[in-house]
Structure 1
Amino acid sequence: MIHFDKMVKTAIKLADMILRGKRIERTDIEGDLFSDEDRDYVIEHLSDPVKIEAQHKIAKELCKTRDKDWKKIEAAIRPPDKKVRYLYSWARIAAVFAGFIAIGYFFFRDHLSGEPPADAVAGEQHITLRLPDGSITVLEETADGAIKDRSGGIIGVRRGRSINYRKTEKAVNTTVPEYHEIQIPFGKTFELILSDGTTVNLNAGSSLKYPIHFTGEGNRQVFLEGEAYFDVEKNPEQPFVVETDGINIQVLGTRFVVNSYKEESRIHTVLLEGSVALFEKGKDYNPEKAPRMVPGQKATWDKTQKDISFEDVDTGVYTGWIEGKLIFNHVVFGEILRRLERYYDIAIINKNKNLDKEIFTAGFEGESVENILNYFGRNYPFEYTVRGDSIVISP
């Protein structure tokens, strides 16, 4: 029997992610109701552009009539082969159906006119900025403009995929920081110049929470999910701290890359210049005990084992994405697929589980995702099918 309350909570969570332009990962579908196959099915159907368009049509109708008619929803997303439909897990069917209804609910709640918001066009992903009051602004990449605080004062300038926050005396006088949080969808990157002069390049599928102005006391602290390159402005009086889901990185002024995606089991830090110290999230920094890195090193934090290891690396392998390059150095295929998903904003479902464990070294620039998969296929033969904005690799 399906626990419908859990199903609805999961569906509302997935609907909210879709409307915010965030890609759904396996780890977002929680609970013991779903097998790996069920999760793949739900992701595929909630990411299918054709079905997304059907969601929006249904959502508009629900907004106008409040008629939550299961038959209308089922007709819009029913698989073409009715025989196959009966073989699907009832749990995953309910998740997809409930997901569509939850999306309708979100449209009805936030857009009483019944029209979907301009930033919820099917298949479109947007860079968004969450303001201190919790409101969310869509950053149009083709538009420039001013970033303002609550009182209307200009605190930064936006140009395309970049925001430059202005240095002001307010940074010294402020005692309680106010935060912006930027979300970068798959297929896009973004540059921030923080109020202290620190430059941050954010990779696809990443988010950063940071003070509009750094206070004159304590650390300059930011919160990262995903991958980012930091070029930190030196300030011996205020160390710069990057907090991730596992470890914190403390620096005075240096250049480094942090990779901390929630779906990965490890957090990587690669140091290009200067020196950084690492310490576990939730613990106080102890300069005598915190391990330090030297340039050319990669530190890897295992989230499960809660231990750290170091190795010497070619740092260029880990900064290529800033220039639009994809570089894989002794990387398992499962991780390669996740990076391709983020880079190309495409869902890849791999049904060839043996392929996941194969290790590859390769580099690409300006190639289509199909050309990249064909390259790997010459080394380890496999077949795949392109379905709109998704790719399915055959067993």
Structure 2
Amino acid sequence: MKEKEIKKLLNKFNTGKCSPGELEMLKTLMQELEQDNDIPIQTHRLKEQIWEKIENDLNGDQKLRRLNTAWLKVAAVLLVTTVAGIFFSRLLKKPDNEAVQIAYQTITAPRGEMQEIVLPDSTVVHLNAASTIKFPVAFNGKKRELFLLEGEAYFEVRHDAKRPFLVHTGRVTTQVLGTTFNIKFYKDLPDLQVFVNSGKVEIHDQAHTLGMYTPQQLLTYNKLKESFVRGNISDDHLLSWMHDDLILDNVSFREIAVYLENRYNVNFKYTGKKDTRQRYSVRFSNKLTIRQVVDILQLIDGRKYQLKGNNLTIK
């Protein structure tokens, strides 16, 4: 997290304008301080007071907002200096194995096929069809990092409090210690999505903190605008691709096409006008053939479909 972002977060905290997600991020910064033994005792005392106020704010106690917060401004200065110092010293510190070349392995689940991968730390990754991940052959450093280059994956991360687990997807990084979550990152779709199934997940892009996410919460990140929306999901439809039925709620036709192209290894071709505004909610059994799926699409979409080999033409 950049120093500018830390200052902005603390300033919002001082004025009582932090959202619940931002308060969670501030708690994460406080936990960083817990791991540093060189913090002056005065900062520790101020930190304890700030921690108490964060907990009260998260619990909805508004009484503290009416108190004199002059001491918070002093605390903020100390925290910015201390936290920024910790972060930047870690960035500047050369790793012990800097000269060691990291060897990576890249695995792609081809169209029409899902794969299950066990990483070097025993984390399990379920790869959807036409998805690619890149990861080190061994996690030797202080972090476990990998890249979801394309597609969708469900992660069952083995807990390791000393080594956070990071998934890089374009500009966005998802960080956990041990949890289960799903990432959807298709280059043909405008949005990246992270859905948390269990545990806590911290997400940020190259310039901003996107918050802490807990079970049944969904991040939808627009890759072009670099904007995001936090949502709560009451069902597990976002994980249906791993089960008997594929359930897509309120999605564009392009998203339906991406899933079906990858699942059935077909190519959608448009000879008529593309419908970019219509939204659909569909459910497809994994036991259906592509011809049965085409019949369903014609009924709900109203356009004519013609299947020849692996090419599906929409008129």
After TM superposition, the score normalised by the length of structure 1 is: 0.52
CA contact (8 A) 1:177 1:214 kept: no
Evaluate the alpha carbon distance shift between residue 213 and residue 180 of structure 1 in structure 2; reply closer, same or farther with a 3 A threshold. same
Measured after TM superposition, the shift of residue 381 of structure 1 is: 1.6
Of the candidates 168, 171, 175, which is equivalent to residue 246 of structure 1?
Answer: 171
Counterparts of residues 11-26 of structure 1 (less than 5 Å): none
Evaluate the alpha carbon distance shift between residue 337 and residue 179 of structure 1 in structure 2; reply closer, same or farther with a 3 A threshold. same
Code of the residue aligned with 1:380 in structure 2: it is D
Distance 1:181 1:236 in 2: 26
> Residue 295 of structure 1 aligns with which residue?
215
Distance 1:337 1:390 in 2: 12
Distance 1:204 1:336 in 2: 14
| Secondary structure at 2:163 match in 1 | coil
Code of the residue aligned with 1:221 in structure 2: it is E
> Residue 372 of structure 1 aligns with which residue?
293
Distance 2:146 2:118 in 1: 13
Of the candidates 201, 217, 234, which is equivalent to residue 276 of structure 1?
Answer: 201
| Secondary structure at 1:319 match in 2 | helix
> Residue 343 of structure 1 aligns with which residue?
263
Evaluate the alpha carbon distance shift between residue 379 and residue 290 of structure 1 in structure 2; reply closer, same or farther with a 3 A threshold. closer
Of the candidates 311, 314, 322, which is equivalent to residue 231 of structure 2?
Answer: 311
Of the candidates 183, 206, 222, which is equivalent to residue 146 of structure 2?
Answer: 222
> Residue 60 of structure 2 aligns with which residue?
none
> Residue 99 of structure 1 aligns with which residue?
none
CA contact (8 A) 2:298 2:305 kept: no
Q: Spell out, residue by residue over 1:364-393, the C-alpha distance to the aligned partner (whole angstroms, 9 max, x if none).
A: 111122222322322332111111111101
**Is 2:179 the counterpart of 1:262?**
no
Q: Spell out, residue by residue over 1:90-124, the C-alpha distance to the aligned partner (whole angstroms, 9 max, x if none).
A: xxxxxxxxxxxxxxxxxxxxxxxxxxxxxxxxxxx
Measured after TM superposition, the shift of residue 344 of structure 1 is: 0.5
Distance 2:300 2:132 in 1: 35
| Secondary structure at 1:180 match in 2 | strand
Code of the residue aligned with 1:232 in structure 2: it is V
Code of the residue aligned with 2:134 in structure 1: it is K
Q: Spell out, residue by residue over 1:258-277, the C-alpha distance to the aligned partner (whole angstroms, 9 max, x if none).
A: 00111211100000000101
| Secondary structure at 2:295 match in 1 | helix
Distance 2:122 2:166 in 1: 15
Code of the residue aligned with 2:255 in structure 1: it is E
Q: Spell out, residue by residue over 1:48-71, the C-alpha distance to the aligned partner (whole angstroms, 9 max, x if none).
A: xxxxxxxxxxxxxxxxxxxxxxxx
Counterparts of residues 155-234 of structure 1 (less than 5 Å): 176-215=101-140, 217-224=141-148, 225-234=150-159
Once superposed, what is the RMSD of the aligned Cα atoms?
2.0
**Is 2:313 the counterpart of 1:386?**
no
Code of the residue aligned with 1:296 in structure 2: it is Q
> Residue 156 of structure 1 aligns with which residue?
none
Measured after TM superposition, the shift of residue 356 of structure 1 is: 4.1
Measured after TM superposition, the shift of residue 214 of structure 1 is: 0.3
Q: Spell out, residue by residue over 1:227-268, the C-alpha distance to the aligned partner (whole angstroms, 9 max, x if none).
A: 100000001101000000120000000000000111211100
Q: Spell out, residue by residue over 1:74-95, the C-alpha distance to the aligned partner (whole angstroms, 9 max, x if none).
A: xxxxxxxxxxxxxxxxxxxxxx
Code of the residue aligned with 1:377 in structure 2: it is Q
> Residue 40 of structure 1 aligns with which residue?
none
Distance 2:222 2:251 in 1: 16
Distance 1:354 1:238 in 2: 47
Distance 2:252 2:234 in 1: 18
Measured after TM superposition, the shift of residue 308 of structure 1 is: 1.3
Evaluate the alpha carbon distance shift between residue 248 and residue 326 of structure 1 in structure 2; reply closer, same or farther with a 3 A threshold. same
- Following TM superposition, where does structure 1 have runs of at least 4 consecutive aligned residues deviating by more than 6 angstroms? none
**Is 2:216 the counterpart of 1:334?**
no
After TM superposition, the score normalised by the length of structure 2 is: 0.65
| Secondary structure at 2:297 match in 1 | helix
- Unpaired runs of 5+ in structure 1? 1-172
> Residue 70 of structure 2 aligns with which residue?
none
Distance 2:251 2:294 in 1: 15
CA contact (8 A) 1:226 1:260 kept: yes
- Unpaired runs of 5+ in structure 2? 1-96
> Residue 323 of structure 1 aligns with which residue?
243
| Secondary structure at 1:233 match in 2 | coil
CA contact (8 A) 2:155 2:182 kept: yes
Evaluate the alpha carbon distance shift between residue 341 and residue 290 of structure 1 in structure 2; reply closer, same or farther with a 3 A threshold. closer
